[in-house]
Amino acid sequence: MQLADRPWPDIQTYCNSDSLAIVPLGSTEQHGPHLPEGTDHLIADALAREAAERTGFLCTPPVMVGVSSHHRQFHGTLSVDPATFRDYVESLSRSLTGHGIDRIVYVNAHGGNVEHLREVGRRLYEDDTAYAIEWMWNESIPDLVDDLFEHTGPHGGPKETAMILHIAPELVREDRLDAAAENGVARMEELQLRRHGARTFYDAIENSDNGVFGDQRDATAAKGEQLFEAAVDQLTALLDWLDEQRYEDLTARPHV
């Protein structure tokens, strides 16, 4: 059920019988010269919508801008301060709990959001407001990602390219795939990302001139469909599991 598409009595009916909500989150940031800036929120929203369709659970509109300051040197990247992002997501989550929602799955497609979503989840958990957890699509199917691509890369690479080729092929500049790989960092092993145990960079541009990490030239829509279906399977299984739990079993344990 898409919250934004329904009148309030329909949402009331849902909340009278169910207490789980899906919140898709991504970013609006550079993804190389070949992918749209909305790559992350497009993926998150597509996965969340499909999972909601299959399960019947409530899905909110997507949060389209996340924590992306590490891509700020590339035109079009939008970002919000981490504290602002955490407070916004927490406030959004608390507004859901006011309608009877007590468990939330953050369907996330942007690495820069991960630690902040987990912090929001902890805040809600510690004051016993709701049980909220972050789910990152590619982390749910790592073996498939590795099987499909030789050089996956963490950003703008083949897994994201394949997913967009599947869900929004008209937005991919396939004529730029060669340049994206050749002018980016196709092979992560070429980089020295740590020195003496320390991570020594902050921004993407320090390691890649065009913001690409990974070789997207073997990405196809068919591979994107494989990724999408496998990820949705994992997400629906998570939703069903969470829905089956007693809320009392999800809350914080008492002090010893």
Question: What is the pLDDT at residue 200?
Answer: 87
Question: What is the pLDDT at residue 39?
Answer: 98
Q: What is the pLDDT of residues 48-60, one digit of tens each?
A: 999 999 999 999 9
Question: What is the pLDDT at residue 191?
Answer: 83
Query: How far is Cα 32 from Cα 62, in angstroms, rounded to an integer?
Result: 22
All structural domains of the chain, each given as residue ranges with its CATH number in brackets, are 3-248 (3.40.50.10310)
Question: What is the pLDDT at residue 32?
Answer: 97
Span 222-244, mean pLDDT? 98
Question: What is the pLDDT at residue 187?
Answer: 82
Per-residue pLDDT band for 112 (boundaries 50, 70, 90) equals very high
Question: What is the pLDDT at residue 159?
Answer: 97
Q: What is the pLDDT of residues 6-37, one digit of tens each?
A: 999 999 999 999 999 999 999 999 999 999 99
Q: pTM for this one?
A: 0.96
* Sign of the alpha-carbon torsion through 105, 107, 112, 113: negative
Q: Are 156 and 180 in contact (CB under 8 A)?
A: yes
Q: In this predicted model, which residue has the larger pLDDT, 132 or 256?
A: 132
Q: Is the pLDDT of residue 232 over 90?
A: yes
Question: What is the pLDDT at residue 82?
Answer: 98
Query: How far is Cα 254 from Cα 256, in angstroms, rounded to an integer?
Result: 6
Q: Is the pLDDT of residue 43 over 90?
A: yes
E strands, 35-166, are 58-59, 103-108, 131-136
Span 150-155, mean pLDDT? 91
Q: What is the pLDDT of residues 59-102, one digit of tens each?
A: 999 999 999 999 999 999 999 999 999 999 999 999 999 999 99
Q: What is the pLDDT of residues 172-225, one digit of tens each?
A: 999 999 999 999 888 877 788 888 999 888 899 988 999 999 999 999 999 999
Question: What is the pLDDT at residue 101?
Answer: 98
Rounded to 5°, the CA angle 16-19-131 comes to 155
Q: What is the pLDDT of residues 119-147, one digit of tens each?
A: 999 999 999 999 999 999 999 999 999 99
Q: How does DSSP assign 159-170, residue by residue? A: HHHHHHHHH-GG
Q: Is the pLDDT of residue 115 over 90?
A: yes
Question: What is the pLDDT at residue 188?
Answer: 78
Q: What are phi and psi of 62, to 5 degrees?
A: -75, 150
Question: What is the pLDDT at residue 234?
Answer: 98
